[in-house]
Amino acid sequence: MPDLSLEAEFRLQGYHLIAGVDEAGRGPLAGPVAAAAVILPPDLTGDEPWLAAIDDSKRLSERRRTEAAKLVRENALACAVELIDSEGIDRIGIGNAVIQAMLTAVERLKPAPDALLMDWVPIKESPLPHQTVVKGDGRSLSIAAASILAKVARDDLMVRAEGCYPGYGFARHKGYATRAHLRCLSELGPCPMHRRSFSPLRQGRLLSDADTR
């Protein structure tokens, strides 16, 4: 389970407000990439009951993620989420889109953080001291909280997209390359939610007359 030990190490170096940063939606064929930044209260002991609900978002069910996101928003000192849509991903590339979303989420935090803990993605462009943590959402409560907010925000958007673009099953697979999603793409062609720069859409194998919609 994640804890506050990495945050404590930063505070021993003189940094007070530590933001955890994570992303969701790097790999899907459709929908935005989301990034979140979360500053937990610096006086937490780690024994607060609500922290028991915070874990790597991938290890939580949809219901538990939604409940945990509510707890994070209620108890965090600051939090922010940024999404970059499929058009932006196609324009600048998924790697740059992830970094841009992370930096924007951090910039929107009020109060501003003194240092960052990031899950895997190093952001050389950040002016703040930062540490990149492999599988950080399973080690740091701040990063885990960010992973939850990013995942819930993105999933909520994909559920809403089902109403705008019916037939693709976005509410079920959230844009990932499941067999059902690929079958729908073959039958309907891509919609504006799809990332045209991603294979197999980039290779044109799934394009059809519906591509002009």
Structure tokens at 53: 């609900």
Mean pLDDT of 49-75: 98
By DSSP bridging, strand 78-84 and strand 18-24 are: unpaired
The single residue listed with the structure tokens 């999603």 is: 181
With contact defined as beta carbons under 8 Å apart, do 198 and 33 qualify? no
pTM of the model: 0.94
Per the listing, tokens 């037939």 go with 167
Task: Give the model's pLDDT for residue 206.
Answer: 55
CB proximity list for 55: less than 8 A, separation 6 or greater: 1, 2, 68, 138, 144
* Tens digits of residue pLDDT in 17-29: 999 999 999 999 9
Q: What is the pLDDT of residues 35-44, one digit of tens each?
A: 999 999 999 9
Q: What is the pLDDT of residue 127?
A: 86
Tell me the per-residue pLDDT of 122-150, one tens digit each, with 9 for 90 and over. 777 788 999 999 999 999 999 999 999 99
Q: Is the pLDDT of residue 207 over 90?
A: no
Q: What is the pLDDT of residues 144-187, one digit of tens each?
A: 999 999 999 999 999 999 999 999 999 999 999 999 999 999 99
If you classify domain 5-163 with CATH, what class do you get? Answer: alpha beta
Boundaries of every domain in the chain:
5-163, 165-212
Between helices 62-75 and 141-164, what is the axis angle to 10°?
120
pLDDT in tens, 86-102: 999 999 999 999 999 99
